[in-house]
Structure 1
Protein backbone atom coordinates (compact mmCIF):
# COMPACT_ATOMS: atom_id res chain seq x y z
CA UNK A 1 0.00 0.00 0.00
CA UNK A 2 2.81 2.38 0.89
CA UNK A 3 4.58 1.65 -2.42
CA UNK A 4 1.40 2.45 -4.36
CA UNK A 5 0.99 5.70 -2.44
CA UNK A 6 4.59 6.71 -3.17
CA UNK A 7 4.24 5.93 -6.87
CA UNK A 8 0.97 7.87 -7.07
CA UNK A 9 2.49 10.85 -5.25
CA UNK A 10 5.46 10.79 -7.64
CA UNK A 11 3.17 10.84 -10.65
CA UNK A 12 1.16 13.75 -9.23
CA UNK A 13 4.33 15.68 -8.45
CA UNK A 14 5.66 15.06 -11.95
CA UNK A 15 2.40 16.14 -13.60
CA UNK A 16 2.15 19.32 -11.50
CA UNK A 17 5.82 20.28 -11.55
CA UNK A 18 6.85 19.46 -15.12
CA UNK A 19 6.20 22.49 -17.36
CA UNK A 20 6.33 20.31 -20.48
CA UNK A 21 2.81 19.08 -19.73
CA UNK A 22 1.59 22.62 -20.57
CA UNK A 23 -1.61 22.39 -18.56
CA UNK A 24 -2.62 25.88 -19.67
CA UNK A 25 -2.79 24.56 -23.24
CA UNK A 26 -4.78 21.54 -22.06
CA UNK A 27 -7.44 23.70 -20.42
CA UNK A 28 -7.54 26.02 -23.43
CA UNK A 29 -8.37 23.22 -25.86
CA UNK A 30 -10.35 20.87 -23.60
CA UNK A 31 -13.74 22.41 -24.47
CA UNK A 32 -12.84 23.98 -27.81
CA UNK A 33 -15.22 23.57 -30.75
CA UNK A 34 -12.99 21.27 -32.88
CA UNK A 35 -12.38 18.92 -29.94
CA UNK A 36 -16.07 18.73 -29.02
CA UNK A 37 -16.98 18.12 -32.67
CA UNK A 38 -14.46 15.29 -32.85
CA UNK A 39 -15.80 13.88 -29.57
CA UNK A 40 -19.37 13.88 -30.91
CA UNK A 41 -18.20 12.06 -34.05
CA UNK A 42 -16.43 9.48 -31.87
CA UNK A 43 -19.59 8.84 -29.85
CA UNK A 44 -21.67 8.61 -33.05
CA UNK A 45 -19.23 6.11 -34.53
CA UNK A 46 -19.30 4.04 -31.34
CA UNK A 47 -23.10 3.94 -31.20
CA UNK A 48 -23.57 3.25 -34.91
CA UNK A 49 -20.88 0.57 -35.11
CA UNK A 50 -22.10 -1.22 -31.97
CA UNK A 51 -25.70 -1.13 -33.23
CA UNK A 52 -24.62 -2.85 -36.44
CA UNK A 53 -22.35 -5.23 -34.53
CA UNK A 54 -25.01 -6.30 -32.02
CA UNK A 55 -27.74 -6.80 -34.64
CA UNK A 56 -25.37 -8.69 -36.92
CA UNK A 57 -23.97 -10.68 -34.00
CA UNK A 58 -27.42 -11.93 -32.95
CA UNK A 59 -28.21 -12.94 -36.52
CA UNK A 60 -24.89 -14.71 -37.03
CA UNK A 61 -25.11 -16.50 -33.68
CA UNK A 62 -28.56 -17.89 -34.53
CA UNK A 63 -27.29 -18.91 -37.98
CA UNK A 64 -24.22 -20.53 -36.43
CA UNK A 65 -26.44 -22.68 -34.21
CA UNK A 66 -28.77 -23.60 -37.06
CA UNK A 67 -29.08 -27.33 -37.88
CA UNK A 68 -28.90 -26.36 -41.57
CA UNK A 69 -25.25 -26.94 -42.58
CA UNK A 70 -25.35 -24.31 -45.36
CA UNK A 71 -26.56 -21.55 -43.01
CA UNK A 72 -24.19 -22.62 -40.25
CA UNK A 73 -21.21 -22.76 -42.62
CA UNK A 74 -22.01 -19.35 -44.13
CA UNK A 75 -22.04 -17.77 -40.64
CA UNK A 76 -18.82 -19.58 -39.73
CA UNK A 77 -17.05 -18.31 -42.85
CA UNK A 78 -18.14 -14.73 -42.12
CA UNK A 79 -16.87 -14.95 -38.54
CA UNK A 80 -13.60 -16.51 -39.74
CA UNK A 81 -12.96 -13.77 -42.32
CA UNK A 82 -13.88 -10.73 -40.28
CA UNK A 83 -12.14 -11.93 -37.11
CA UNK A 84 -9.03 -12.82 -39.07
CA UNK A 85 -8.51 -9.51 -40.91
CA UNK A 86 -7.30 -6.56 -38.78
CA UNK A 87 -9.82 -3.75 -38.34
CA UNK A 88 -7.32 -1.23 -39.70
CA UNK A 89 -7.07 -3.19 -42.95
CA UNK A 90 -10.86 -3.41 -43.20
CA UNK A 91 -11.17 0.36 -42.79
CA UNK A 92 -8.70 0.95 -45.59
CA UNK A 93 -10.38 -1.67 -47.78
CA UNK A 94 -13.81 -0.05 -47.49
CA UNK A 95 -12.39 3.43 -47.99
CA UNK A 96 -10.63 2.40 -51.22
CA UNK A 97 -13.48 0.19 -52.46
CA UNK A 98 -13.84 2.38 -55.56
CA UNK A 99 -10.50 1.07 -56.80
CA UNK A 100 -12.12 -2.38 -57.02
CA UNK A 101 -15.67 -1.35 -57.97
CA UNK A 102 -15.77 2.14 -59.54
CA UNK A 103 -19.58 1.97 -59.63
CA UNK A 104 -22.12 0.14 -57.48
CA UNK A 105 -25.11 -1.30 -59.30
CA UNK A 106 -28.46 -2.75 -58.31
CA UNK A 107 -30.26 -4.95 -60.78
CA UNK A 108 -31.19 -8.44 -61.88
CA UNK A 109 -28.37 -10.98 -61.29
CA UNK A 110 -26.56 -11.60 -64.58
CA UNK A 111 -29.05 -9.20 -66.18
CA UNK A 112 -29.54 -5.48 -66.75
CA UNK A 113 -28.67 -2.91 -64.10
CA UNK A 114 -31.55 -0.91 -62.66
CA UNK A 115 -29.53 1.60 -60.64
CA UNK A 116 -25.87 2.56 -60.81
CA UNK A 117 -24.03 5.11 -58.66
CA UNK A 118 -20.46 6.26 -58.21
CA UNK A 119 -18.87 4.27 -55.39
CA UNK A 120 -17.16 7.36 -53.93
CA UNK A 121 -20.56 9.01 -53.50
CA UNK A 122 -21.82 6.05 -51.44
CA UNK A 123 -18.71 4.99 -49.53
CA UNK A 124 -17.82 8.23 -47.79
CA UNK A 125 -15.39 8.49 -44.89
CA UNK A 126 -18.25 8.04 -42.41
CA UNK A 127 -19.70 5.07 -44.31
CA UNK A 128 -16.30 3.39 -44.57
CA UNK A 129 -15.69 3.92 -40.86
CA UNK A 130 -19.05 2.47 -39.79
CA UNK A 131 -18.77 -0.48 -42.20
CA UNK A 132 -15.21 -1.29 -41.17
CA UNK A 133 -15.93 -1.11 -37.44
CA UNK A 134 -19.49 -2.48 -37.44
CA UNK A 135 -18.98 -5.50 -39.70
CA UNK A 136 -15.87 -6.51 -37.79
CA UNK A 137 -17.66 -6.11 -34.47
CA UNK A 138 -20.48 -8.33 -35.72
CA UNK A 139 -18.09 -11.28 -35.92
CA UNK A 140 -16.98 -10.84 -32.30
CA UNK A 141 -20.52 -10.24 -31.04
CA UNK A 142 -21.65 -13.43 -32.78
CA UNK A 143 -19.38 -15.51 -30.56
CA UNK A 144 -20.48 -13.59 -27.45
CA UNK A 145 -24.17 -14.12 -28.25
CA UNK A 146 -23.56 -17.77 -29.16
CA UNK A 147 -21.91 -18.42 -25.80
CA UNK A 148 -24.84 -16.76 -24.05
CA UNK A 149 -27.37 -18.87 -25.95
CA UNK A 150 -25.45 -22.07 -25.19
CA UNK A 151 -25.46 -21.19 -21.48
CA UNK A 152 -29.26 -21.56 -21.37
CA UNK A 153 -30.40 -25.03 -20.35
CA UNK A 154 -31.70 -27.16 -23.26
CA UNK A 155 -34.68 -27.97 -21.08
CA UNK A 156 -35.94 -24.43 -21.70
CA UNK A 157 -36.29 -25.23 -25.41
CA UNK A 158 -38.06 -28.50 -24.61
CA UNK A 159 -40.49 -26.73 -22.31
CA UNK A 160 -41.22 -24.10 -24.97
CA UNK A 161 -41.84 -26.79 -27.60
CA UNK A 162 -44.24 -28.55 -25.24
CA UNK A 163 -46.22 -25.31 -25.08
CA UNK A 164 -46.38 -25.17 -28.88
CA UNK A 165 -43.91 -22.32 -29.35
CA UNK A 166 -42.01 -22.19 -32.63
CA UNK A 167 -38.23 -21.84 -32.90
CA UNK A 168 -38.10 -18.07 -33.52
CA UNK A 169 -40.63 -17.33 -30.77
CA UNK A 170 -38.72 -19.56 -28.35
CA UNK A 171 -35.47 -17.77 -29.16
CA UNK A 172 -37.02 -14.32 -28.76
CA UNK A 173 -39.08 -14.91 -25.60
CA UNK A 174 -37.32 -17.71 -23.75
CA UNK A 175 -33.67 -18.12 -24.73
CA UNK A 176 -32.38 -14.61 -25.45
CA UNK A 177 -33.85 -12.99 -22.29
CA UNK A 178 -32.05 -15.59 -20.16
CA UNK A 179 -28.87 -15.36 -22.21
CA UNK A 180 -28.65 -11.59 -21.66
CA UNK A 181 -27.15 -12.16 -18.22
CA UNK A 182 -24.14 -13.78 -19.91
CA UNK A 183 -24.10 -11.52 -22.97
CA UNK A 184 -24.19 -8.10 -21.32
CA UNK A 185 -20.81 -8.01 -19.48
CA UNK A 186 -18.65 -8.82 -22.55
CA UNK A 187 -20.87 -6.57 -24.69
CA UNK A 188 -20.09 -3.70 -22.33
CA UNK A 189 -16.40 -4.44 -22.71
CA UNK A 190 -16.79 -4.53 -26.50
CA UNK A 191 -18.52 -1.12 -26.39
CA UNK A 192 -15.66 0.39 -24.41
CA UNK A 193 -13.21 -1.25 -26.80
CA UNK A 194 -15.15 0.15 -29.76
CA UNK A 195 -14.87 3.65 -28.29
CA UNK A 196 -11.10 3.30 -28.38
CA UNK A 197 -11.05 1.51 -31.74
CA UNK A 198 -12.70 4.51 -33.37
CA UNK A 199 -9.32 6.24 -33.10
CA UNK A 200 -8.18 4.04 -36.00
CA UNK A 201 -10.34 6.05 -38.42
CA UNK A 202 -7.48 8.55 -38.42
CA UNK A 203 -6.06 6.49 -41.32
CA UNK A 204 -9.02 7.53 -43.51
CA UNK A 205 -8.96 11.12 -42.19
CA UNK A 206 -12.40 11.02 -40.59
CA UNK A 207 -12.62 13.78 -37.99
CA UNK A 208 -13.05 11.81 -34.79
CA UNK A 209 -11.53 12.92 -31.48
CA UNK A 210 -7.99 11.74 -32.22
CA UNK A 211 -8.04 13.14 -35.76
CA UNK A 212 -9.23 16.52 -34.47
CA UNK A 213 -6.45 16.52 -31.91
CA UNK A 214 -3.82 15.56 -34.49
CA UNK A 215 -4.95 18.32 -36.86
CA UNK A 216 -4.46 20.89 -34.12
CA UNK A 217 -1.04 19.75 -32.92
CA UNK A 218 0.16 19.38 -36.51
CA UNK A 219 -0.42 23.13 -36.78
CA UNK A 220 0.66 24.28 -33.30
CA UNK A 221 3.28 21.59 -32.46
CA UNK A 222 1.72 21.26 -28.99
CA UNK A 223 1.65 17.49 -29.21
CA UNK A 224 1.71 16.38 -25.56
CA UNK A 225 -1.00 18.72 -24.20
CA UNK A 226 -3.32 17.88 -27.11
CA UNK A 227 -2.82 14.16 -26.53
CA UNK A 228 -3.65 14.74 -22.86
CA UNK A 229 -6.89 16.39 -23.98
CA UNK A 230 -7.75 13.27 -25.98
CA UNK A 231 -6.91 11.03 -23.01
CA UNK A 232 -9.12 13.06 -20.67
CA UNK A 233 -12.13 12.77 -22.97
CA UNK A 234 -11.58 9.06 -23.67
CA UNK A 235 -11.38 8.42 -19.91
CA UNK A 236 -14.49 10.52 -19.27
CA UNK A 237 -16.64 8.68 -21.82
CA UNK A 238 -15.24 5.31 -20.74
CA UNK A 239 -16.18 6.09 -17.13
CA UNK A 240 -19.76 6.88 -18.17
CA UNK A 241 -19.97 3.63 -20.15
CA UNK A 242 -18.66 1.66 -17.17
CA UNK A 243 -21.38 3.08 -14.91
CA UNK A 244 -24.04 2.30 -17.52
CA UNK A 245 -22.69 -1.23 -17.89
CA UNK A 246 -22.75 -1.78 -14.12
CA UNK A 247 -26.36 -0.59 -13.92
CA UNK A 248 -27.48 -2.87 -16.76
CA UNK A 249 -25.65 -5.83 -15.23
CA UNK A 250 -27.38 -5.28 -11.89
CA UNK A 251 -30.73 -5.00 -13.66
CA UNK A 252 -30.39 -8.29 -15.54
CA UNK A 253 -28.45 -10.10 -12.80
CA UNK A 254 -31.13 -9.82 -10.14
CA UNK A 255 -31.66 -13.19 -8.54
CA UNK A 256 -28.31 -14.50 -9.76
CA UNK A 257 -25.77 -12.22 -8.09
CA UNK A 258 -24.36 -13.59 -4.79
CA UNK A 259 -25.25 -11.75 -1.63
CA UNK A 260 -22.49 -9.39 -0.57
CA UNK A 261 -20.83 -10.25 2.74
CA UNK A 262 -20.76 -7.42 5.30
CA UNK A 263 -17.46 -5.64 5.71
CA UNK A 264 -15.26 -5.67 8.81
CA UNK A 265 -16.69 -2.40 10.13
CA UNK A 266 -20.26 -3.65 9.70
CA UNK A 267 -19.44 -6.92 11.47
CA UNK A 268 -17.79 -5.08 14.39
CA UNK A 269 -20.79 -2.77 14.68
CA UNK A 270 -23.17 -5.74 14.68
CA UNK A 271 -21.20 -7.49 17.45
CA UNK A 272 -21.22 -4.36 19.62
CA UNK A 273 -24.95 -3.95 19.06
CA UNK A 274 -25.59 -7.58 20.00
CA UNK A 275 -23.49 -7.24 23.17
CA UNK A 276 -25.29 -4.10 24.28
CA UNK A 277 -28.67 -5.68 23.53
CA UNK A 278 -27.75 -8.79 25.51
CA UNK A 279 -26.47 -6.72 28.44
CA UNK A 280 -29.64 -4.66 28.45
CA UNK A 281 -31.81 -7.76 28.40
CA UNK A 282 -29.82 -9.29 31.28
CA UNK A 283 -30.07 -6.12 33.34
CA UNK A 284 -33.80 -5.91 32.74
CA UNK A 285 -34.27 -9.55 33.73
CA UNK A 286 -32.28 -8.99 36.97
CA UNK A 287 -34.38 -5.93 37.83
CA UNK A 288 -37.62 -7.79 37.31
CA UNK A 289 -36.45 -10.68 39.58
CA UNK A 290 -35.69 -8.20 42.31
Structure 2
Protein backbone atom coordinates (compact mmCIF):
# COMPACT_ATOMS: atom_id res chain seq x y z
CA UNK A 1 0.00 0.00 0.00
CA UNK A 2 1.34 3.43 -0.91
CA UNK A 3 0.08 6.97 -0.44
CA UNK A 4 -1.07 8.89 -3.49
CA UNK A 5 1.42 11.62 -4.37
CA UNK A 6 -0.50 14.86 -4.75
CA UNK A 7 0.38 16.48 -8.09
CA UNK A 8 3.14 13.90 -8.40
CA UNK A 9 5.10 15.38 -5.51
CA UNK A 10 6.55 12.69 -3.20
CA UNK A 11 6.81 15.31 -0.45
CA UNK A 12 3.01 15.70 -0.44
CA UNK A 13 1.52 12.27 0.36
CA UNK A 14 -2.25 11.96 0.14
CA UNK A 15 -4.67 9.12 0.84
CA UNK A 16 -3.26 5.61 1.01
CA UNK A 17 -4.11 3.48 -2.05
CA UNK A 18 -4.36 -0.23 -1.24
CA UNK A 19 -2.53 -2.51 -3.61
CA UNK A 20 -4.65 -4.37 -6.13
CA UNK A 21 -4.53 -5.69 -9.66
CA UNK A 22 -5.70 -3.66 -12.65
CA UNK A 23 -9.47 -3.97 -12.49
CA UNK A 24 -9.83 -3.06 -16.18
CA UNK A 25 -8.43 -6.53 -16.95
CA UNK A 26 -10.98 -8.23 -14.72
CA UNK A 27 -8.32 -9.22 -12.22
CA UNK A 28 -9.27 -10.87 -8.92
CA UNK A 29 -9.05 -9.07 -5.61
CA UNK A 30 -5.84 -9.43 -3.65
CA UNK A 31 -6.10 -11.19 -0.31
CA UNK A 32 -4.88 -8.97 2.52
CA UNK A 33 -1.33 -9.67 3.62
CA UNK A 34 0.75 -8.01 6.27
CA UNK A 35 3.91 -10.07 5.75
CA UNK A 36 4.58 -9.98 1.99
CA UNK A 37 5.32 -7.33 -0.59
CA UNK A 38 2.75 -8.62 -3.07
CA UNK A 39 5.31 -9.47 -5.74
CA UNK A 40 4.55 -13.19 -5.51
CA UNK A 41 0.83 -12.53 -6.02
CA UNK A 42 1.64 -10.30 -9.00
CA UNK A 43 3.80 -13.01 -10.59
CA UNK A 44 1.10 -15.63 -10.01
CA UNK A 45 -1.51 -13.40 -11.65
CA UNK A 46 0.73 -12.65 -14.66
CA UNK A 47 1.22 -16.38 -15.29
CA UNK A 48 -2.31 -17.46 -14.36
CA UNK A 49 -4.12 -19.59 -16.95
CA UNK A 50 -7.13 -17.27 -16.92
CA UNK A 51 -4.95 -14.23 -17.69
CA UNK A 52 -5.61 -13.70 -21.40
CA UNK A 53 -2.79 -11.27 -22.13
CA UNK A 54 0.60 -12.61 -21.03
CA UNK A 55 0.85 -15.60 -23.36
CA UNK A 56 -0.75 -13.74 -26.27
CA UNK A 57 1.56 -10.74 -26.01
CA UNK A 58 4.69 -12.89 -25.80
CA UNK A 59 3.63 -15.25 -28.60
CA UNK A 60 2.87 -12.23 -30.76
CA UNK A 61 6.33 -10.78 -30.07
CA UNK A 62 8.04 -14.04 -31.02
CA UNK A 63 6.01 -14.20 -34.23
CA UNK A 64 6.94 -10.58 -35.00
CA UNK A 65 10.63 -11.43 -34.57
CA UNK A 66 10.40 -14.00 -37.37
CA UNK A 67 7.99 -12.27 -39.76
CA UNK A 68 8.70 -8.59 -39.20
CA UNK A 69 5.08 -7.94 -38.21
CA UNK A 70 3.03 -9.40 -35.40
CA UNK A 71 -0.28 -11.19 -35.74
CA UNK A 72 -1.45 -8.17 -33.77
CA UNK A 73 0.24 -5.33 -35.70
CA UNK A 74 0.35 -3.14 -32.56
CA UNK A 75 2.47 -5.25 -30.17
CA UNK A 76 2.34 -2.63 -27.41
CA UNK A 77 -1.42 -2.20 -27.59
CA UNK A 78 -3.81 -5.14 -27.35
CA UNK A 79 -6.64 -2.83 -26.32
CA UNK A 80 -9.35 -0.96 -28.19
CA UNK A 81 -6.90 1.57 -29.60
CA UNK A 82 -4.75 -1.17 -31.13
CA UNK A 83 -5.36 -3.10 -34.32
CA UNK A 84 -7.15 -6.47 -34.25
CA UNK A 85 -5.21 -9.67 -35.01
CA UNK A 86 -5.01 -10.71 -38.65
CA UNK A 87 -5.19 -14.39 -37.68
CA UNK A 88 -7.00 -14.61 -34.29
CA UNK A 89 -7.24 -18.42 -34.31
CA UNK A 90 -3.51 -18.71 -34.94
CA UNK A 91 -2.76 -16.34 -32.07
CA UNK A 92 -5.00 -18.39 -29.76
CA UNK A 93 -3.22 -21.58 -30.82
CA UNK A 94 0.28 -20.16 -30.35
CA UNK A 95 -0.52 -18.62 -26.98
CA UNK A 96 -2.02 -21.90 -25.73
CA UNK A 97 1.02 -23.86 -26.96
CA UNK A 98 3.33 -21.34 -25.32
CA UNK A 99 1.52 -21.49 -21.97
CA UNK A 100 1.00 -25.26 -21.94
CA UNK A 101 4.58 -25.86 -23.08
CA UNK A 102 6.02 -24.39 -19.92
CA UNK A 103 6.52 -20.89 -21.36
CA UNK A 104 9.48 -22.15 -23.41
CA UNK A 105 10.64 -19.47 -25.84
CA UNK A 106 13.01 -21.93 -27.52
CA UNK A 107 10.11 -24.31 -28.20
CA UNK A 108 8.12 -21.47 -29.76
CA UNK A 109 11.00 -20.55 -32.06
CA UNK A 110 11.23 -24.17 -33.16
CA UNK A 111 7.48 -24.45 -33.72
CA UNK A 112 7.36 -21.33 -35.89
CA UNK A 113 10.53 -22.03 -37.87
CA UNK A 114 9.39 -25.56 -38.76
CA UNK A 115 6.01 -24.31 -39.98
CA UNK A 116 4.99 -24.23 -43.64
CA UNK A 117 4.40 -20.48 -43.39
CA UNK A 118 7.96 -19.75 -42.30
CA UNK A 119 9.46 -22.00 -44.98
CA UNK A 120 7.54 -20.40 -47.87
CA UNK A 121 9.40 -18.46 -50.55
CA UNK A 122 9.24 -14.67 -50.58
CA UNK A 123 8.67 -14.69 -54.36
CA UNK A 124 5.09 -13.84 -55.30
CA UNK A 125 3.06 -14.42 -58.44
CA UNK A 126 0.32 -12.23 -59.86
CA UNK A 127 -2.63 -14.14 -58.34
CA UNK A 128 -1.20 -13.95 -54.81
CA UNK A 129 -0.43 -10.23 -55.20
CA UNK A 130 -3.97 -9.59 -56.41
CA UNK A 131 -5.52 -11.59 -53.56
CA UNK A 132 -3.20 -10.30 -50.83
CA UNK A 133 -1.53 -7.05 -51.99
CA UNK A 134 0.07 -6.17 -48.64
CA UNK A 135 0.82 -9.80 -47.72
CA UNK A 136 -1.26 -9.35 -44.58
CA UNK A 137 -2.58 -12.88 -44.99
CA UNK A 138 0.95 -14.27 -45.39
CA UNK A 139 0.50 -15.69 -48.87
CA UNK A 140 4.33 -15.58 -49.06
CA UNK A 141 7.17 -15.18 -46.61
CA UNK A 142 7.71 -11.45 -46.00
CA UNK A 143 11.17 -10.39 -47.10
CA UNK A 144 12.76 -8.87 -43.98
CA UNK A 145 16.19 -7.54 -43.13
CA UNK A 146 18.24 -8.96 -40.31
CA UNK A 147 18.26 -6.82 -37.19
CA UNK A 148 21.37 -4.80 -36.38
CA UNK A 149 22.58 -7.23 -33.72
CA UNK A 150 22.32 -10.22 -36.07
CA UNK A 151 24.28 -8.44 -38.82
CA UNK A 152 27.13 -7.61 -36.43
CA UNK A 153 27.16 -11.08 -34.87
CA UNK A 154 27.19 -12.72 -38.32
CA UNK A 155 30.18 -10.63 -39.40
CA UNK A 156 32.12 -11.66 -36.31
CA UNK A 157 31.08 -15.30 -36.68
CA UNK A 158 32.15 -15.55 -40.32
CA UNK A 159 35.45 -13.89 -39.47
CA UNK A 160 36.03 -16.39 -36.66
CA UNK A 161 36.11 -13.63 -34.05
CA UNK A 162 32.78 -14.07 -32.28
CA UNK A 163 33.19 -14.80 -28.58
CA UNK A 164 30.09 -16.80 -27.54
CA UNK A 165 30.79 -16.52 -23.82
CA UNK A 166 28.96 -13.99 -21.63
CA UNK A 167 30.74 -10.66 -21.45
CA UNK A 168 32.27 -9.36 -18.24
CA UNK A 169 32.32 -5.87 -16.79
CA UNK A 170 32.83 -2.87 -19.04
CA UNK A 171 36.09 -0.95 -18.45
CA UNK A 172 34.50 2.15 -16.96
CA UNK A 173 36.85 4.91 -15.80
CA UNK A 174 37.52 4.93 -12.04
CA UNK A 175 35.03 6.91 -10.00
CA UNK A 176 37.75 9.35 -8.95
CA UNK A 177 37.91 10.56 -12.55
CA UNK A 178 34.19 11.15 -12.95
CA UNK A 179 33.35 14.74 -13.76
CA UNK A 180 30.18 14.14 -15.74
CA UNK A 181 27.35 16.67 -15.76
CA UNK A 182 24.03 17.06 -17.53
CA UNK A 183 25.78 18.75 -20.44
CA UNK A 184 28.93 16.63 -20.26
CA UNK A 185 27.43 13.16 -19.99
CA UNK A 186 29.42 9.95 -20.03
CA UNK A 187 29.79 8.51 -23.54
CA UNK A 188 31.95 5.59 -24.61
CA UNK A 189 32.14 2.75 -27.12
CA UNK A 190 34.26 -0.17 -25.96
CA UNK A 191 35.64 -2.71 -28.45
CA UNK A 192 34.14 -6.15 -28.00
CA UNK A 193 33.95 -9.45 -29.86
CA UNK A 194 31.06 -10.69 -27.72
CA UNK A 195 27.53 -11.00 -29.03
CA UNK A 196 25.79 -7.69 -29.56
CA UNK A 197 23.35 -8.37 -26.73
CA UNK A 198 26.31 -7.81 -24.36
CA UNK A 199 27.31 -4.41 -25.80
CA UNK A 200 27.14 -1.53 -23.36
CA UNK A 201 23.80 0.25 -23.56
CA UNK A 202 23.58 3.98 -22.89
CA UNK A 203 20.29 5.82 -22.88
CA UNK A 204 21.97 8.96 -24.15
CA UNK A 205 23.20 7.35 -27.37
CA UNK A 206 23.00 4.18 -29.41
CA UNK A 207 26.00 2.06 -30.31
CA UNK A 208 27.28 3.37 -33.69
CA UNK A 209 26.81 0.04 -35.48
CA UNK A 210 23.32 -0.53 -34.07
CA UNK A 211 22.30 3.04 -34.91
CA UNK A 212 23.25 2.64 -38.58
CA UNK A 213 21.11 -0.47 -38.96
CA UNK A 214 18.03 0.79 -37.07
CA UNK A 215 18.78 -0.58 -33.61
CA UNK A 216 16.26 0.16 -30.87
CA UNK A 217 16.26 3.52 -29.11
CA UNK A 218 17.58 2.74 -25.59
CA UNK A 219 15.69 5.69 -24.10
CA UNK A 220 12.23 4.49 -25.13
CA UNK A 221 10.09 1.39 -25.42
CA UNK A 222 10.41 0.16 -29.00
CA UNK A 223 7.43 -1.98 -29.96
CA UNK A 224 8.66 -2.59 -33.51
CA UNK A 225 11.79 -1.35 -35.23
CA UNK A 226 11.71 0.58 -38.47
CA UNK A 227 13.75 -0.62 -41.44
CA UNK A 228 15.56 2.03 -43.43
CA UNK A 229 17.75 1.80 -46.52
CA UNK A 230 20.44 4.47 -46.56
CA UNK A 231 23.71 5.13 -48.41
CA UNK A 232 25.45 5.11 -45.03
CA UNK A 233 24.66 1.41 -44.56
CA UNK A 234 26.24 0.51 -47.92
CA UNK A 235 29.27 2.69 -47.21
CA UNK A 236 29.67 1.09 -43.79
CA UNK A 237 29.71 -2.43 -45.25
CA UNK A 238 32.32 -1.27 -47.75
CA UNK A 239 34.66 0.90 -45.70
CA UNK A 240 34.31 0.38 -41.94
CA UNK A 241 37.40 -1.06 -40.17
CA UNK A 242 35.26 -3.79 -38.55
CA UNK A 243 34.08 -4.97 -41.97
CA UNK A 244 37.61 -4.77 -43.40
CA UNK A 245 38.96 -6.89 -40.55
CA UNK A 246 36.27 -9.56 -40.82
CA UNK A 247 36.45 -9.60 -44.63
CA UNK A 248 40.20 -10.13 -44.37
CA UNK A 249 39.71 -13.07 -42.04
CA UNK A 250 37.07 -14.57 -44.33
CA UNK A 251 39.48 -14.14 -47.26
CA UNK A 252 42.18 -15.98 -45.32
CA UNK A 253 39.75 -18.85 -44.73
CA UNK A 254 38.95 -19.04 -48.44
CA UNK A 255 42.63 -19.03 -49.43
CA UNK A 256 43.24 -21.95 -47.08
CA UNK A 257 40.22 -23.95 -48.23
CA UNK A 258 41.45 -24.49 -51.80
CA UNK A 259 44.11 -23.40 -54.26
CA UNK A 260 41.64 -23.35 -57.14
CA UNK A 261 39.97 -19.97 -57.64
CA UNK A 262 36.68 -21.43 -58.83
CA UNK A 263 36.44 -23.60 -55.73
CA UNK A 264 37.14 -20.58 -53.53
CA UNK A 265 34.29 -18.67 -55.15
CA UNK A 266 31.97 -21.61 -54.53
CA UNK A 267 33.15 -21.80 -50.91
CA UNK A 268 32.54 -18.06 -50.49
CA UNK A 269 28.92 -18.38 -51.61
CA UNK A 270 28.34 -21.46 -49.49
CA UNK A 271 29.84 -19.71 -46.46
CA UNK A 272 27.96 -16.41 -46.84
CA UNK A 273 24.73 -17.46 -48.56
CA UNK A 274 24.43 -21.23 -47.93
CA UNK A 275 24.15 -21.94 -51.67
CA UNK A 276 26.44 -22.44 -54.67
CA UNK A 277 26.99 -19.55 -57.11
CA UNK A 278 25.33 -19.41 -60.50
CA UNK A 279 27.37 -19.47 -63.69
CA UNK A 280 26.98 -15.70 -64.12
CA UNK A 281 28.10 -15.12 -60.54
CA UNK A 282 31.19 -17.27 -61.07
CA UNK A 283 32.05 -15.35 -64.23
CA UNK A 284 31.56 -12.00 -62.48
CA UNK A 285 33.77 -13.14 -59.59
CA UNK A 286 36.55 -14.23 -61.96
CA UNK A 287 36.45 -10.89 -63.75
CA UNK A 288 36.39 -8.91 -60.50
CA UNK A 289 39.36 -10.78 -59.04
CA UNK A 290 41.33 -10.34 -62.26
CA UNK A 291 40.69 -6.58 -62.22
CA UNK A 292 41.47 -6.36 -58.49
CA UNK A 293 44.88 -7.96 -58.94
CA UNK A 294 45.94 -5.16 -61.29
CA UNK A 295 45.55 -2.60 -58.49
CA UNK A 296 46.36 -4.98 -55.62
CA UNK A 297 48.75 -7.78 -56.68
CA UNK A 298 48.50 -9.34 -53.21
CA UNK A 299 45.96 -12.19 -53.30
CA UNK A 300 44.71 -11.36 -49.81
CA UNK A 301 43.82 -7.80 -50.83
CA UNK A 302 41.98 -8.94 -53.94
CA UNK A 303 39.96 -11.52 -52.02
CA UNK A 304 39.33 -9.03 -49.20
CA UNK A 305 37.79 -6.65 -51.73
CA UNK A 306 35.72 -9.44 -53.25
CA UNK A 307 34.38 -10.54 -49.87
CA UNK A 308 33.36 -6.96 -49.09
CA UNK A 309 31.41 -6.89 -52.34
CA UNK A 310 29.55 -10.03 -51.27
CA UNK A 311 28.84 -8.55 -47.84
CA UNK A 312 27.07 -5.64 -49.52
CA UNK A 313 24.62 -7.87 -51.37
CA UNK A 314 21.03 -7.81 -50.18
CA UNK A 315 21.16 -11.58 -49.83
CA UNK A 316 23.60 -11.21 -46.94
CA UNK A 317 21.38 -8.97 -44.81
CA UNK A 318 17.89 -10.06 -45.92
CA UNK A 319 15.87 -13.20 -45.25
CA UNK A 320 14.09 -14.50 -48.35
TM interval, short-chain normalised? under 0.3
TM-score scaled by structure 2? 0.21
Structure 1 length as normaliser, TM-score? 0.22
